[in-house]
Structure 1
Amino acid sequence: MKIVPHQVNGIRIAEVISDESIITNVEEALQLLVDLYYQEFDKVILYEKNITQDFFDLKTKMAGEILQKFSNYRMQLTIVGDFEKYPGKSLKAFIYECNKGQSVNFVANLAAAF
């Protein structure tokens, strides 16, 4: 795992890059969040390919638990990926609602993450 720091308009952004899965459960997400929080990052960019598929199955409630942790720490999160491949209206509605706010966003490419 590699953390690429970015600075945009005074906001410290951590882009997390890996060839393997980084988040397979809520505890791993929390550990990553805390590590980046104490490095004084304001925002995290994760790639959809590095998050377990269970996150995108809303029945597991994993997405809600992880996003609540980011909210509690007031850490913005952007997930970059192709979300059209996931079936179901619930996930699409969830992504739509998240993208209306500024805490959590789902985007198609890195350029949109900034």
Structure 2
Amino acid sequence: MDINIHEVGEFQIAEVTSEGFVINDKEDGLDLLGNLYYQGFDHVILHKDNITSDFFDLKTGIAGEILQKFSNYRVKLAIIGNFEVHQSKSLQNFIFESNKLRQINFAESLEEAIKKFSH
């Protein structure tokens, strides 16, 4: 796992990259949040390909628990990827509502994710 730092205005964004999964389960997500929070990051970008597909099946509860912790700690999160491949209406609604609130964002590109943090 690598952390690329993007500086935007007065804050730093941690972009987490990896060859494999960074988040396989709830514990991985909470460990990642704790690690990044401890390092002083309050803006995080993850890539969809580094997250288990179970995360995007809302019935598993993985997304809910992890994203709730990011919200509780006021760490803004953007997940980059193509989400149209997921046919779940509930997931599409979740993505739409999350993007409106701007604490948790789903974006198609790194540039879009950084832009969402800038507003």
Scaled by the length of structure 1, the TM-score of the pair is: 0.97
Match of 1:55 in 2: 55
CA distances 1:32-70 after superposition (whole Å, capped 9, x unpaired): 111110111111000000000000001111111010010
**Residue 12 (structure 1) aligns with:** 12
Mapping for residues 28-67 of structure 1, pairs under 5 Å: 28-67=28-67
- Which portions of structure 1, spanning 4 or more consecutive aligned residues, are displaced by more than 3 angstroms? none
Distance 2:17 2:88 in 1: 28
Q: 1:106 Cα deviation (Å)?
A: 0.2
Give aligned-pair identity as a percent.
Answer: 54
Q: Distance in 1 between matches of 2:38 and 2:90?
A: 34
Letter in structure 2 aligned against 1:70: F
State the Cα deviation string for residues 77-105 of structure 1 (Å, max 9, x = none).
00000000011111100000000012100
Long gaps (5+) in structure 2: 115-119
Considering only aligned residues, what root-mean-square deviation do their CA atoms show, in Å? 0.7
SS at match of 1:100: helix
Q: Distance in 2 between matches of 1:88 and 1:113?
A: 22
Structure 1 unmatched runs, 5+: none
